[in-house]
Amino acid sequence: MSMLYRSMLLAFLLIGCAAGDPAIFSSVRLDAATECDQDGDGRAGPQCGGPDCCDIDAETHAGAGAQAEPDACGSFDRSCDGVETPEWRDGHCQSLGTNSCWSARGFITPTACGEVGEFIEDCPVTSAGACGAPTIRMEQQACR
């Protein structure tokens, strides 16, 4: 960038600022953000060599939590590590002796990302001290 061009740009920005026109600065900032961070989540997309694997969905990026719906790019890899990792695995109840039942919360059968399945919420102890029938609810598998 030539010195003359820089001087003209600076003069233009100062005149705009002096005239009280904040649109000049906000449009400059938005243009830069749009180019490398299209979803505005603060992480650059692959078009700029950044780690945001779906730069049109602000809820998809490294460290993102699990979601039950695919992102705007059609993937369940919400964490951008290349793997669609289910939030919950298999669940089951296991007796730990009389009056003690361990609950491993999870789906009764393997449930794919976004699918709905039977989810073991709890494993109560019966009046006889054994593991009773698990408390089950329908759940949608979230993935990250």
Residues that bind Ca ion (CB under 5 A): 37, 39, 41, 43, 52, 55, 77, 79, 81, 83, 85
33: its two tokens: 């953000």
What is the Cα–Cα distance from 114 to 86, expressed in whole angstroms?
9
Task: Give the shortest CB-112-to-Ca ion separation in angstroms.
Answer: 14
For Ca ion, give the closer residue by CB, 49 or 97.
49
φ, ψ for residue 107, nearest 5 deg: -80, 145
Task: Give the shortest CB-82-to-Ca ion separation in angstroms.
Answer: 7
What is the Cα–Cα distance from 115 to 75, expressed in whole angstroms?
14
Task: Give the shortest CB-55-to-Ca ion separation in angstroms.
Answer: 4
For Ca ion, give the closer residue by CB, 24 or 72.
72
Task: Give the shortest CB-96-to-Ca ion separation in angstroms.
Answer: 33
What is the Cα–Cα distance from 128 to 20, expressed in whole angstroms?
78
Name the helix (H) or strand (E) containing 95. Answer: strand 92-95
For Ca ion, give the closer residue by CB, 72 or 136.
72
For Ca ion, give the closer residue by CB, 101 or 142.
142
Cβ contact 39:25 at 8 Å: no
